[in-house]
Chains A and B, each alone.
Chain A
Amino acid sequence: MAFSNLCETLLSADIKPSCDNPIVTGVEPIGVIINRNDIDFANIVYNGTRKTVVEDLPLKVGKKGYAISIPSNTPFAGTDTNLVAGTNSNKFTSNVGFVILNNDPDVTEKVIKGLANGEFVVVIQNKYNNKDKALTPSDSVHEIYGLEKGLKASAMGNDKYSADTDGGWSVVLTETEHPTPAYWFYDTNLVTTETKFEALTDVATS
């Protein structure tokens, strides 16, 4: 009797660059941050065959996501994902870094305080757009962080003389040791996905 390895994950595609759309660095300056508790997890729609592709990310009624706008040359600098060796299986730790180029009572009360103690999901837009991919063009653009365990603040600071923040706040949110390297937000094509991405900041009505 042959025993198969439980939860076996094997390499199942060639490792090679896209010749039509060479990969590029960087992230677009607009992202969306959502309080993790506001996500209607029961009704998330995943792609039927690609289980890390989220086709619909619904929010609970009355809830909305919030835009993160970073007019910078390097928006979301510090955003990365790295392998963490584990006892039984290896996992990944992801960071989402951004700056808040603002500071006043509303910012500290409505944004900083919330970021310091909450749990979040962030959707960012990669500059890399694999637009010539057959069947699922542009599925490389919208990436979701924090879907499995949630992002929590791991570093926040306000340095009055920092050139990086112009005296505003720097924030790093971290999701530690999550099993899936990345989740993606994609439905049909870039136009449909962008419409859904923008709708994340609308108040959910049903």
Chain B
Amino acid sequence: MNSKEIYNELKALQNRAFSLSKKDREFIRNTSKLLNVPFYPKSKCEDCYKDQIIILAIEVKKSLSVIENNSTSYKMVNGKSIKWRGININDETITDEIAEKFILNVKNSINFIQKK
């Protein structure tokens, strides 16, 4: 399975997070190991698997966005997603123009956007 396939599977799991099968849970545990993301589900923790799906999706998305968006010399700090002046800015939507405008106007821009 490549990153894109893992990401698509995680997105599918998000939609059925309230009724995960044994196989789904196994996939989450194995993917956690594969991506080296810590996962220690408690025996009665209903939300642990749901939370882990989101954590894994974010992890995989980081590697995807680096591959997908090569048109800009900027990236989001820790893969953040923000809304500023009505524009959603994330690793997929960021452009040089948006990044430079943001840096010019937002005092704490360094917390959100950085040079690649």
Contact = CB atoms under 8 A, between A and B. Distances in A.
B82 A135 contact: no
Number of contact residues on A: which range applies? 20 to 34
Interface stretch (B5-13, B19-27, B64-72, B84-92): B84-92
A192 B105 CA distance: 20
Nearest to A206: B107
Interface string B28-52: 0000000000000000000100011
Contact of A56 (B55, B81, B112): B112
Given A43-B105, A55-B112, A56-B111, A134 B82 contact: no
A58 B112 contact: no
Given A56-B106, A56-B108, A58-B108, A45 B82 contact: yes
B83 A45 contact: yes
Contacts of A25: none
Interface string A92-113: 0000000000000000000000
Interface string A12-41: 000000000000000000000000000000
Contact of B112 (A45, A49, A51, A135): A45
Nearest to B112: A45
Contacts of A86: none
Interface string A47-65: 1110100011010000000
A58 B83 contact: no
Given A48-B88, A134-B47, A188-B111, 15 more contacts: A43-B105, A44-B84, A47-B81, A48-B81, A48-B82, A48-B89, A49-B81, A56-B106, A58-B107, A134-B52, A134-B55, A135-B51, A135-B58, A187-B111, A192-B111
A135 B88 contact: no
Contact of A43 (B51, B52, B81, B85): B85
A196 to B, nearest CB: 7
Interface string A105-123: 0000000000000000000
B89 A196 contact: no
A42 interface: yes
B4 interface: no
Interface of B is mostly: mixed
B43 to A, nearest CB: 13
Interface residues of B, number: 22
11 contacts: A42-B105, A43-B105, A45-B83, A45-B112, A47-B81, A48-B83, A58-B107, A134-B51, A134-B55, A135-B55, A135-B58
Interface in A180-200: 187-188, 192, 196
A206 to B, nearest CB: 6
Which of A43, A187, A196 neighbours the largest number of chain B CB atoms within 10 Å of its CB?
Answer: A43
